[in-house]
Amino acid sequence: MPRLEACRDGSHTVYSEEFGQFYHNPNGAVAESIHVFFEASSILKILEAGLPINVLETGFGTGLNALLLADYKLALGSSSTILFQSVEAYPISNEVARELNYGSFLEHPQLAAHLVPIFERLQHDSIEYQIIPGMKLQVFMGKMEDMVLPEGVFDFVFHDPFSPDVNPELWSNNVFKRLYATCKSDATMVTYCAATKARGAMAVGGWLVARAPGALGKREMTIASKQEDKLNAYQRLNEARLIERFS
């Protein structure tokens, strides 16, 4: 059973015995999520502009990214309507969900209370859940490999499985092809991972790929997009070379 652990910044993470890995950077779960998924992705600009946003997250884990997005929407007074679609094959227990201390790291601590009813329902089935007005959460309970993904729907992918060495099924060429197909033509995908093989799989999947500064002592993370100008602030990689090496 996954067990609760405290990161160096005091925020909780979970350790998975099955995968032999923490759900987040042990230096700081909340700080890492903010850096990788919110600051690097440009999602905050879209929230500020009040445009609709569809996010696909691969690995719901503790639900932290969903809470942070709801917290940003409220803090920015954003009028964006948000669909947050996630997937989880191995939900954390209700007991672990009850203990998570994310409320102390949010501007709107009351949001953390949603985790208990979310995980109570997720133990049994996929869920649809209104976190706040204008933000709907959907979690597919099952393996991402079995999830039917609609075409051309998502603006952002938060790619957040365990690392490629222990969770290779979510880092394959085919997964990144599927993620490409389910995204809109100007979509952006972000992940904490900087492994060359993962970047190669993204390039084979059709993504343009760039390196970005990593969170909390990690040198790099990866940002990918379907549209070149979304990567202007970052150092582009040579996709042709990656495709040659990894296809």
Ligand X SMILES: C[S@@+](CC[C@H](N)C(=O)[O-])C[C@H]1O[C@@H](n2cnc3c(N)ncnc32)[C@H](O)[C@@H]1O
Q: How far is the CB of 229 from ligand X (least distance, A)?
A: 27
Q: How far is the CB of 99 from ligand X (least distance, A)?
A: 14
Strand blocks (E) in 8-62: 12-16, 21-22, 53-58
Rg (CA), the chain: 17
Q: What is the dihedral of CA 44, 75, 132, 13, to 10 degrees?
A: 80
Using N-to-C axis directions, what is the helix angle for 173-181 and 196-204, rounded to 10°? 50
Which residues make up the interface to ligand X (CB under 6 A)? 23, 33, 57, 59, 61-62, 64-65, 87-90, 143-145, 160-162, 167, 169-170
Q: Which residue has the tokens 């609609």?
A: 150
Please say which residue, 138 or 243, places its beta carbon nearer to ligand X: 138
Q: Which residue is nearest to ligand X (CB)?
A: 61
Please say which residue, 145 or 228, places its beta carbon nearer to ligand X: 145
Per DSSP, the residues of 192-204 read S---HHHHHHHHH
Q: How far is the CB of 236 from ligand X (least distance, A)?
A: 26
Q: Does residue 162 contact residue 21 with C-beta atoms inside 8 Å?
A: yes
- The separation between CA 198 and the C-alpha centre of its own chain, rounded to angstroms, equals 15
Q: Does residue 25 contact residue 7 with C-beta atoms inside 8 Å?
A: yes
Q: How far is the CB of 67 from ligand X (least distance, A)?
A: 9
Q: How far is the CB of 84 from ligand X (least distance, A)?
A: 11
Please say which residue, 90 or 246, places its beta carbon nearer to ligand X: 90
